[in-house]
Amino acid sequence: MPTYEQVSAAGDVVGQNVYKARFGVNDCSDMPQLQAWDDYALNTVAIESLQGTALNGDESQVAAAHVTNNATILNWVPAVATAGGGDIQGGGYRANRLRGNESYLLLGDAADAAPSADDERKFQLAFGVAPDNGAGVSGHQPVLAVKTFYSGAAPEVSFWYNRGTEGTPDWVQMTSEDGGTPMAIDVLNAIHATGPATTTTSLDPVTKPGSVEKFAEEQWIQTAL
């Protein structure tokens, strides 16, 4: 029976200890990029979640903020994407809407330095829904990826989510795959953007808004098949 666990402070809300990427052995030579793609081939961005809709201005509905040094504020998602790595927001964090190589999120630190071995970079995620989005999961299953740059051996990247609180994080490692390796959406550690009535055994679909884009109230991780 599928079971789920809520991610702490995830969404278009105040949050810092939400998700993180850990860079294991070997240094990066430049800031990594957090990207969103159609699937694990990591070469197309045709799905509705990444192309957007007429009523959200044809903007990607997958947003991310780099929060290693500062938490997001409420309603942090930028109205439009920034080509490249995203703008620095007033709260001291970088944010962007994600679409392949076109608009991504740079994962630096306060000095915009590349991660060394064993460094971590925290990030926040939000998933939008517009009034004219299609119903169901088809076209709404983007894949997240971290693109790394290095000289010599590749860094080992792992993903983590916080099931604790902001003040007392409890970090859990997520299942991930190398680029090009397909993974079904219903595997362990898939991220589900949900409505507020989700429980540990039942996902609540996000209700489409009446006029403007909104962002899923909660995010849950599948912990058992």
Residue 54: what are its φ and ψ, rounded to 5°?
A: -60, -40
- pLDDT of 184: 61
- pLDDT of 181: 78
Residue-wise pLDDT tens digits, 2-54: 899 999 999 999 999 999 999 999 999 999 999 999 999 999 999 999 999 99
Report the SS3 class of residue 194: strand
- Rounded Cα distance, 190 and 186, in Å: 6
Residue-wise pLDDT tens digits, 119-129: 999 999 999 99
Taking Cα atoms as reference points, which of 5, 14, 1 lies closest to residue 126? 14
Cβ atoms 97, 112 nearer than 8 A: no
- pLDDT of 147: 97
Residues, the chain, total? 225
Residue-wise pLDDT tens digits, 130-143: 999 999 999 999 99
Residue-wise pLDDT tens digits, 156-206: 999 999 999 999 999 999 988 888 877 665 668 899 999 999 999 999 999
Cβ atoms 146, 33 nearer than 8 A: yes
**What are the tokens at 157?**
């990247």
- Rounded Cα distance, 95 and 99, in Å: 13
Please, is 104 exposed, middle or buried when counting C-beta atoms within 10 Å of its C-beta (0-12, 13-18, 19+)? buried
Domain ranges of the chain: 1-225
